[in-house]
Amino acid sequence: MLLKYLTGKNEDIPAGSSAIFFGFSAIFWFVVGTGLGSFNAAKLAFPDFVTGTELFAFGHMRQVHVLAVIVGWISMAFAMTMMYMTPALGNTKLWSEKLGLWTGMMWNIGLSTALFTLWIGITSGREYSDFAWPLDLVILLGVIAPLCINVIMTIAHRRTQGIYITNWFFGSCTFMVGIVLLVGNSPEYFHLTGLSEAYLTWWNAHNLLGLWITPVAAAIAYYTVPKLTGNPLYSHRIGHMHFWSIIVFYSTPASHHIMSSPIPEWLKSFASVEGVLILIPAVAFVANILLTMKGKWTLFVENIETKFTMTGVLLAIPLNMQGGFQQTRSINWYIHGTGWIVAHAHLALLGMSTFLEIAAVYFGLQQMLKRKVYSLALANIHYWFVLIGFCIYWISMTIAGLIQGAGKIYEVPYIDVVIAEHPYMIARWVGGTMVFTGNLVWLFNMWMTARVGTLVPEGRYAHELAYDR
Amino acid sequence: MAFKEYRLGSAMVGGALGLSMIITIFMPSFDLRSAVSTKMALEKQLSAGFDIGFGYADPLLLGINRPLTVVLDADPKTGAKFDPPVTAYIYKPGVPMPPNIRHPHDLGKGVQDLSEGLGQIGSVSGSNHRVGTREGVVFTVGLGEFDGEELSYIENASATRGWTPDATLAAAGDKNTFKISQGKTEFVVQGCWWCHTLLPEQTQDWQVFGAPPYLGDFNGENPTAFGSDRKAPDLLHVGSRNSSREWMLLHFFNPRLVQVNSIMPRFDYLWGEKDAQGNVIDYDKWRVEYLDYANGKRVYPPEVPDYAPDSEIRALIDWVLSLK
């Protein structure tokens, strides 16, 4: 069927096909990514677990986990939401379903190739842009560029007067992430060396988070929360404040990632101040969504999508508090490079961002398939497994990070730090495995939804129907 | 449909992003470009060579087409004795040139002038630096004076002293040849940098991990691979703390032989199929015997095999011990 659509006429492809394709691909990569995460965590807890083969060594697997969840799960879930939210908000159809399906195909093929080459050790050696540069170009031109065109053309062909805040984010973030990848990978294209290379590596990593993952995840909530609750967004103006302050403040503090390297001092100070200013968009977002929930908090318990969304929004509070302050010099020297940062990164990607996306994927898949989710019980199992697993992970890594920080400043022999961390490494593995298990349940649940979920009548929303199981 | 405020909005997004890039990329580039290469940077650059990551000369990152580092007791051409020994960097035909031969400006003020003047790096023959030269080049690090300041610079020993790659390699012998560039490739490919950092921090770290690097310590290095998630000791100066090849040998084969609580993975697979004597290494037997030892059924652990001269582990240890 996919093949027929890929070669067929655009008009013949049913609306929502690309969203469904992206949705299932995203869930698949989520299962793969978290499975790898659990495997890696087991290796850190028990170093002799699966030993002696080059390909299953920790150093070959770690980056595959990171990029599978970022480029596979998170970014494909973003593309999925763009495929159905952008047209819905413009009261129109997706500009080209065919292009959307092709993008999804290219994405899966490109990412599989890139992850495979990375796995066997072909890398640029630059964190978060680890792929060899020809593959970076494939992703930029074959994936990000068509996605951006599709989104922006859909917005241009809208049949509404204004552009809703979500679409402002979608349109500009797909464009900006292209620029970030282009500039951020320039050390590979132009063979830049030394601190320029190091700085651009972190410029790239920072802006992938700042101009892609964080804002797009927030933009999703601006759509799902009003839709699910039936309340209008509390304030579109505050939404715009969020939008503009993200672009201005989040795009500048890249150097706070390498605070302890000899980059110019003015740059570090500047980054530090700008980093605290990220609290402005952060508070604007959280406040706006919480105020939108007014009078509808029962849905937080009753409705699975709201449950995921609001958990994500609530997790944004500790995320931003950590993010704003941990990069100032007075705190950064203590926790830099420790497990604290690992915990924070998972709070951002597995906590806030993932929870918002899971909700949007649940919502969108039901809407596009026109079927009610197969089982509420399974969805709840999914929720609790991911939430509890994440919490175990986050708390244990935060503690491990504080231990490492203390070890660092008191110059404790390193091996004592390794010993002290061991229980937390085991906890981390338990947490990661729970997340993985939860995702397997989710994949099954969505598969069953596509096959036997109760049909949603024309003109109704899936969340208005009662759950069957 | 065309509302003006959207045009304005889009222009403002572009403007804001552009401004942010001017501040965060264009402005720092002046500071970063003004960095003057230190001796450490020159040694790192010459021993590592062109990009360690994916490139035309070594697309699969097997450590091929890489420079070799040798320590010479005597001049390969004249035979005159050196005291102290001199380190030379051999770029055989087809090995890409170190980055700053093509971009001498990045060496920084003074170092560039000395390298181009006394060091004659401009005379490196062959126009395409990425595929290397036809005859090969030998470099050394010289010490000169610029504006009353002592600076190290790159010397093209093929031009200044007439050293050829083959003669230099023969003069050094295998014992004094170090595959540092291939070793750094292993460091990147095997993912050591997901646990180890190459960046002692400015705030503490001085006593155990050694001095944090300076602005000019990185010129010509790609990738810098600082590492962001430190689960293990910093390695930037590890060769000064521990220079024992035997310890490294045991530690890489199975870290738990020398440090029972280590979480470092075993890198025994880097030994390859055969040991130094050409015998096939029986890994299964070794693991069984090791398990017996770990469970207290043996008093001594099994012997760790000697590595073959062309094994990957040799290159890796060469690189680790070069980190002074």
Residues of B in contact with A126 (CB under 8 A): 53, 223, 225
Q: Which of A51, A244, A262 sits opposite B266 (nearest CB)?
A: A51
Flag whether residue A325 sits within 8 Å of chain B, measured between CB atoms. no
| Inside any domain, residue A445 | no
Digit-coded pLDDT (tens) for A356-413: 999 999 999 999 999 999 999 999 999 999 999 999 999 999 999 999 999 988 888 9
| Dihedral angle of Cα B20, B23, B24, B30, to the nearest 10 degrees | 150
Please say if the pLDDT value at position A115 is more than 50: yes
Do A6 and A107 have their domain in common?
yes
pLDDT of res. B3: 54
| Inside any domain, residue A429 | no
In this complex, do A258 and B3 lie within 8 Å of one another by their Cβ atoms? no
State the average pLDDT for chain A.
Answer: 95
Flag whether residue B26 sits within 8 Å of chain A, measured between CB atoms. no
| Residue A123, min C-alpha distance to chain B (Å) | 6
Do A42 and A123 have their domain in common?
yes
pLDDT of res. B1: 45
Do A148 and A172 have their domain in common?
no
Examine the fold and report which residue of A333, A352, A370 is the final residue of a domain before the chain moves on: A370
CATH number of the domain that residue A239 is part of: 1.20.210.10
Alpha helices, DSSP H, located in A127-247: 133-139, 145-156, 165-184, 186-190, 194-208, 214-229, 236-245
Do A159 and A183 have their domain in common?
no
For B260, nearest residue in chain A (alpha carbons): A415
Flag whether residue A270 sits within 8 Å of chain B, measured between CB atoms. yes
Q: Which of B33, B207, B263 sits opposite A47 (nearest CB)?
A: B263
Digit-coded pLDDT (tens) for A414-468: 999 999 999 999 999 999 999 999 999 999 999 999 999 999 998 899 999 999 8
Tell me chain A's radius of gyration from C-alpha atoms: 22
Whether the predicted interface score ipTM is above 0.85: yes
pLDDT of res. A11: 85
Q: Which of B17, B40, B190, B270 is the best mutation test for A, with the most CBs of A within 10 A? A: B17
Do A140 and A257 have their domain in common?
no
Examine the fold and report which residue of A370, A404, A428 is the final residue of a domain before the chain moves on: A370
Report the alpha-carbon angle A359-A364-A367, nearest 5: 130
Q: Going residue by residue through chain B (324 aa), what tens digit of pLDDT does each one get?
A: 445 678 888 999 999 999 999 999 999 999 999 999 999 999 999 999 998 999 888 999 999 999 999 999 999 999 999 999 999 999 999 899 999 998 999 999 999 999 999 999 988 865 567 778 888 999 999 999 999 999 999 999 999 999 999 999 999 999 999 999 999 999 999 999 999 999 998 777 788 899 999 999 999 999 999 999 999 999 999 999 999 999 999 999 999 999 999 999 999 999 999 999 999 999 999 999 999 999 999 999 999 999 999 999 999 999 999 999
Residues of B in contact with A62 (CB under 8 A): 191, 194
CATH classification (class only), B189-322: mainly alpha
Residues of A in contact with B283 (CB under 8 A): 52
| Inside any domain, residue A412 | no
In this complex, do A247 and B197 lie within 8 Å of one another by their Cβ atoms? no
A261-284: b (≥16 Cβ within 10 Å) or e: bbbbeebbebbbebbebbbbbbbb
pLDDT of res. B125: 65
DSSP string, B265-302: PP-GGGG-SBBTTSPBP-HHHHHHHHHHHHTTS-SSPP
From chain B residues 59-78, the ones with a CB under 8 A of any chain A CB are 59-61
| Inside any domain, residue A302 | yes
Which of A219, A221, A428 lies closest to A314 in space, CA to CA?
A221
| Inside any domain, residue A456 | no
In this complex, do B51 and A337 lie within 8 Å of one another by their Cβ atoms? no
Q: How far apart are the first and last CA of chain A?
A: 30
Digit-coded pLDDT (tens) for A202-217: 999 999 999 999 999 9
In this complex, do A261 and B193 lie within 8 Å of one another by their Cβ atoms? no
Digit-coded pLDDT (tens) for A304-346: 999 999 999 999 999 999 999 999 999 999 999 999 999 999 9
Phi, psi of B143 (to 5 degrees): -125, 125
For B11, nearest residue in chain A (alpha carbons): A172
Residues of B in contact with A191 (CB under 8 A): 50-51, 99, 222
Compute the Cα dihedral for A445, A446, A449, A450 and give only its sign.
Answer: negative
Domain boundaries, chain B: 39-179, 189-322
| Inside any domain, residue A427 | no
Which of A263, A117, A63, A317 lies closest to B199 in space, CA to CA?
A263
Do A320 and A353 have their domain in common?
yes
Burial of B293 from C-beta contacts in 10 A (0-12 / 13-18 / 19+): middle
| Inside any domain, residue A378 | no
Please say if the pLDDT value at position A240 is more than 70: yes
Do A222 and A248 have their domain in common?
yes
Report the alpha-carbon angle B98-B100-B102, nearest 5: 90
Do A153 and A24 have their domain in common?
yes
- What is the extent of the structural domain holding A23? 1-163
Please say if the pLDDT value at position A63 is more than 70: yes
| Distance of alpha carbon B76 from alpha carbon B157, whole angstroms | 11
Q: Which of A262, A341, A418 sits opposite B214 (nearest CB)?
A: A262
Digit-coded pLDDT (tens) for A68-104: 999 999 999 999 999 999 999 999 999 999 999 999 9
pLDDT of res. B53: 92
DSSP string, B168-216: HHHHHTGGGEE-HHHHHHHHHHTTGGGT--S---SSS-HHHH-PPPPGG
Do A358 and A214 have their domain in common?
yes
- What is the percent of chain A with per-residue pLDDT over 90, rounded to a whole number? 93
SS3 for B87? strand
Do A102 and A182 have their domain in common?
no
Which helix (H) or strand (E) segment is A278 a member of?
none
Domains in chain A, number: 2
Do A140 and A205 have their domain in common?
no
Do A175 and A132 have their domain in common?
no
